[in-house]
Amino acid sequence: MARMTMIEAIRSAMDVAMGRDEDVVVYGEDVGYFGGVFRCTQGLQQKYGKTRCFDAPISESGIVGTAIGMAAYGLKPCIEIQFADYMYPAYDQLTQEAARLRYRSNGDFTCPMVVRMPTGGGIFGGQTHSQSPEALFTHVCGLQVVVPSNPYDAKGLLISAIENPDPVIFLEPKRLYNGPFDGHHEHPVTSWAGHPLGEVPEDYFSVPLGKAAVRREGSAVTILAYGTMVHVAEATAEETGIDAEIIDLRTLVPLDLETILQSVKKTGRCMVIHEATLTSGYGAELVALVQEHCFYHLEAPIMRVAGWDTPYPHAQEWDYFPGPARAGQALRDLMEA
């Protein structure tokens, strides 16, 4: 075991995967020599050479499109889009090509590819360095969508994603890159040092896709969260004193519905929290599923806490970001409902 930040864990996952399988190639903007704007690929080019880890032109559809061709050839590209906010030029390639290649060719061609994208806000990133576009991927059949919330999962899930035979969208909450963040921006920044999930095996291991993790057991209410919001949910439970059960979904597609239903049937209440905007966000899907499967166990309407239906603002960062104050109020309302 070693102490790792999420950045180091992600780098370690690619290092391990590249070492084990020479079909794994890593590329993207500034990913090669420089090692990535977030340092996630630092040292990989030196270790594996320029043809395994390299810099790409600034063309998201080019990066994703070439990766699809490489995957069809038989490689396993693990590519990077510098910010999830900049995936839109590649959306055609991701949704119409990568997602459907196996289906439309009846398995003649497949697309074992991972697309890493730093995501989420809480960093004064403004409109185009803060977005959480996961719902734009969960709606696309053929894609799998992963959002880790800590270094241990980030490494284990990324290794699973690289080994997965289908395309995986791997959203990395950049707010969590250097340390956990519970939404208390007024507190000093914390690091992963001392956090139990900052202890990460140096060698190969994996965390399966499609399996949620119960971060806190509780009996009063179930909170469904992923990414940065897992830490916000933990702080909220602590501060409100409400005995919440917190589920870190980890994979949005395929979803671990069993773990969710088991919890909600036990608690009778459910709150969904995500950074992404509310309307048609992934929370709506979670609410619909819980409602459909737990209707007779529910003691209150299911609550959603999310980003407002506005573009992500700059100056109003903390008015926008669903922190523990908003989450706490929602949780108290939910318990009184």
Interface residues with other proteins (CB under 8 A) are 25, 51-52, 56-57, 59, 61-62, 65-70, 72-75, 89, 92-93, 96-97, 100-110, 141-142, 144, 165-166, 210, 253-255, 257
- Please give the torsion angle defined by the CA atoms of residues 319, 325, 330 and 334, in that order, rounded to the nearest 10 degrees: 180
The nearest distance, CB 64 to other proteins, in angstroms, is 9
293 is catalytic: no
- What is the 8-class DSSP label of residue 337? -
Give the residue with the Cβ less far from other proteins, 33 or 73: 73
Contact 108, 117 (CB under 8 A): no
Contact 150, 95 (CB under 8 A): no
Give the residue with the Cβ less far from other proteins, 209 or 233: 209
The nearest distance, CB 68 to other proteins, in angstroms, is 5
Give the residue with the Cβ less far from other proteins, 7 or 63: 63
The nearest distance, CB 285 to other proteins, in angstroms, is 10
Instruction: Count helices and strands (H / E) in the chain.
Output: 12, 14
Report how far residue 45's alpha carbon sits from residue 32's, in angstroms, rounded to the nearest whole number. 6
Report how far residue 65's alpha carbon sits from residue 12's, in angstroms, rounded to the nearest whole number. 26
Q: Which of 129, 139, 231, 314 is catalytic?
A: 129
Report how far residue 327's alpha carbon sits from residue 64's, in angstroms, rounded to the nearest whole number. 36
The nearest distance, CB 206 to other proteins, in angstroms, is 16
Contact 15, 163 (CB under 8 A): no
Give the residue with the Cβ less far from other proteins, 88 or 308: 88
Give the residue with the Cβ less far from other proteins, 50 or 314: 50
The nearest distance, CB 210 to other proteins, in angstroms, is 7
Contact 54, 27 (CB under 8 A): yes
Contact 194, 181 (CB under 8 A): no
Report how far residue 214's alpha carbon sits from residue 246's, in angstroms, rounded to the nearest whole number. 6
Q: Which residues are tagged catalytic? A: 129
